[in-house]
Amino acid sequence: MFTSVLLSISVIGSFAQPQDITPFERSDGHATTTYFECIEYFSQLARQYPSIQIEEIGPTDSGYPLHVVLFNYDERTGSQSESKIKVLALNAIHPGEPAGVDASMMLLRDLASGKILGSYSRHISLAVIPFYNVGGGLERGSFSRANQNGPDAYGFRGNAKNLDLNRDFIKMDAKNTRSFVHFYHRFDPEIFVDTHTSNGADYQYTMTCLDTHPQKLGGSLGQYLKEKFTPSLFESMERKGYEMCPFVNVYGKTPDNGYTQFFDYPRFSTGYTALFQTLGFMSEAHMLKPFKDRVHATYQFLISIIENGAANKEEIISIREKDRLDILEKEIYDLTWHQDLSDPDTILFKGYEASQIQSNVTGGTRLKYHHDKPYESKIPYFNKLIPDASTRVPEAYIIPQAWEKVMQYFSINNIVYTKYQADTLLDVEAYYIEDFKTYQSPYEGHYPHYNTVLKPIQIQIKVRRGDYHVPVKQKGLRYIIETLEPQGEDSFFKWNFFDPVLQQKEHFSAYVFEKTAERLLIEKPWLKDSLDQKVRRDKDFGNNSRAQLDYIYRNSEYFEKSYRLYPVFRIFE
């Protein structure tokens, strides 16, 4: 009796058990955990606390599985009770930026032991992916983050395939991404956090915050994010002594004259989760602050996110449900945007004065921030977007069964579709890819296309048994449109999924086609007229026999119709 009282006092008094102390804490903030220590630690926590579970949720490119650690997860139904708000945190997408890994180890321990959050902890269901880029995490060293202040050793940015996983959420080249996406839909969080460390400019803040672009998130949730959630997140951090500014999206110069909000396309974590009405945040701890401070700031950031979510859970859940219904009524969908540089907000910025001084290395000048000259100043923050290209939302897309990778991706993303049971003729809207540009060097394993120009046409197609019919009015509406519309910022077309249609398969031999061309010009006077006009207008063309024959060929029935015909078709009611 006497012993048990003493024991319970000691548990309440200290919360953390000796075996719960993290490598970060043991090293007084100099070390970050290894992947293996991290998984072992959470396995131990799960044995110790019934509220914690650890689960493997799929493979990664490294050969090791991806883990998730769950707090307050309702195992009986495999889903959360509606009264809890679901928060998903992702760490070590860039293992050289591991503050969130160590912060989450302390956070889950302190949540489970009751040290933090008090009654709020009952209102949340938390899922933490403790170590996302396992392959990068195994490549530990002390030099790959040349501009960063600790920890002593850390992982590498590229994953086992040298991919930056924070560009992979649409193209899903990594197994890590496919495992993540599968779990993301199973958990369906209202709030998502991805923890990072910054690159770029110097300033006073230890923590900066990158929220998903409210305009791109759109709907009532976008407005709620901008007007309520983000301001109260900033206030909460400030109360705890971690004043933040919006992520400083500036490289190679100072932020003194203002900066633009980072635009998180769907290839990025928060841009992807925004497609499914999730409030997304990246914590960006400042690279030059000591690692110990960065971890504590990230720990507090995660607590503020959870508290803010728990305190407003009914409002967030109901706005999200409303937006998910509202989006089904959308008739026009904005695909591309540019920054509005005419109408910035104003923010108070706490920076350091900077100047150009003589370089001791290059003979030129260099930028130097003066830590002895801190300043506070109001600067413009360009956080508004203007839409460019948009599209009319179709009733459904038709996708021939040949494009199976697209359908695999749709399945992982819970997109609902049916297969045609019989061959059918259908009137559809199709696109010819009239023009596009392509990256000249590889980017994340691809040569992406951009500046895509489309020519819509109305045609009849032969749909075959087994081809796919994808209705647009469903929960994944935004994902479907963003990936299938070729002009989308991160469309499958852009990421080279449809490159085979960009190559001409048949050609002509001039000596044979000459005779056919002669006949075509007699049969089609309009073609002769247009050829003559082009010869008069364009001197090079007039001197190039091959080009003239090719012109006739392209404007005749001999030219293949599938060349540059985008093989996904749109139908309207």
285 vs 354, beta carbon nearer Zn ion: 285
Whether the upstream peptide bond of residue 151 has omega within 30° of 0, thus cis, is yes
Site for Zn ion in 412-431 (CB under 5 A): none
Closer CB to Zn ion, 97 or 293, in the complex: 97
Q: Helices in 225-350 by DSSP H: which ranges?
A: 230-239, 269-274, 291-311, 313-326
* Closest listed residue to residue 417, CA positions, set 346, 472, 376: 472
In this structure, are residues 316 and 224 in contact, taking their beta carbons and an 8 Å threshold?
yes
Residue 33 or 197 having the CB closest to Zn ion: 197
- In a 3-state reduction of DSSP, which class is residue 11? helix
Cβ-count burial 426-437 (b if 16+ within 10 Å, e if not): eebebbbbeebe
Cβ proximity to Zn ion: between 90 and 116 the closer is 90
Q: State phi, psi for 396 to the nearest 5 degrees.
A: -160, 160
Binding region for Zn ion (CB under 5 A) out of 26-34, 97-105, 245-253, 312-320? 97-105
The minimum distance between CB 198 and Zn ion, in angstroms, equals 8
Shortest Cβ 196–Zn ion spacing (Å):
3
Q: How far is the CB of 262 from Zn ion (least distance, A)?
A: 11
Torsion region of 148: left, alpha or beta (phi above 0 gives left; psi -120 to 50 gives alpha) = beta
Which stretch, 25-33, 93-101, 266-274, 469-477, contacts Zn ion (CB under 5 A)?
93-101
What contacts 24+ positions apart, CB below 8 Å, involve 291-294? 291/29, 291/30, 291/32, 291/99, 291/149, 291/150, 291/151, 292/28, 292/29, 292/30, 292/150, 293/29, 293/206, 294/99, 294/197, 294/206, 294/207
**CA nearest to 123, candidates 282, 350, 308, 256:** 308
- Give the footprint of Zn ion on residues 35-74 (CB under 5 A): none
Residue 305 CB, shortest distance to Zn ion, in Å, is 17
**Region for residue 363 given its phi and psi (left: phi exceeds 0; alpha: psi -120 to 50; beta: otherwise):** left
**Cβ proximity to Zn ion, 97 vs 307, nearer residue:** 97
Which one of residues 94, 167, 292, 475 is an interface residue with Zn ion (CB under 5 A)?
A: 94
Query: By beta-carbon distance, which residue lies closest to Zn ion?
Result: 196
Nearest-approach distance from CB 266 to Zn ion, in angstroms: 17
# binding residues, Zn ion (CB under 5 A)? 3
Segment contacting Zn ion (CB under 5 A): 88-96, 362-370, 391-399, 521-529? 88-96
CB 207, min distance to Zn ion, A: 14
| Residues 221 and 478 sit within 8 Å (Cβ to Cβ) | no
Among 97, 173, 293, 444, binds Zn ion (CB under 5 A): 97
What is the length of the chain?
Answer: 573
**Is-contact 403 282, C-beta < 8 A?**
no
CA atoms 227, 228, 233, 239: torsion sign: positive
H helices of 131-227, where?
134-138, 175-187, 214-217, 219-224
Least distance in Å: CB of 164 to Zn ion? 9
Are 495 and 531 in contact by the 8 Å Cβ rule? The answer is no
Binding to Zn ion in span 184-223, by CB under 5 A: 196
Does 267 contact Zn ion by CB under 5 A?
A: no
Q: Which is nearer to Zn ion, 301 or 397 (CB)?
A: 301
Q: Smallest gap, in angstroms, from Cβ of residue 147 to Zn ion?
A: 13
Smallest separation (angstroms) from Zn ion to the CB of 134: 16
When the beta carbons of 198 and 254 are compared against Zn ion, the nearer one is: 198
Taking the complex as a whole, the smallest distance from the CB of residue 181 to Zn ion amounts, in Å, to 19
Q: Given the complex with Zn ion, which of 196 and 292 has the nearer CB atom?
A: 196
Between 144 and 220, name the residue whose CB sits nearer to Zn ion.
144
Nearer to Zn ion, 88 or 454 (CB): 88
**Where does this chain touch Zn ion (CB under 5 A) — which range of 53-61, 89-97, 102-110, 505-513?**
89-97
SS3 content of the chain, % helix, strand, coil (to 5): 35, 25, 40
* Footprint on this chain of Zn ion (rule: CB under 5 A): 94, 97, 196
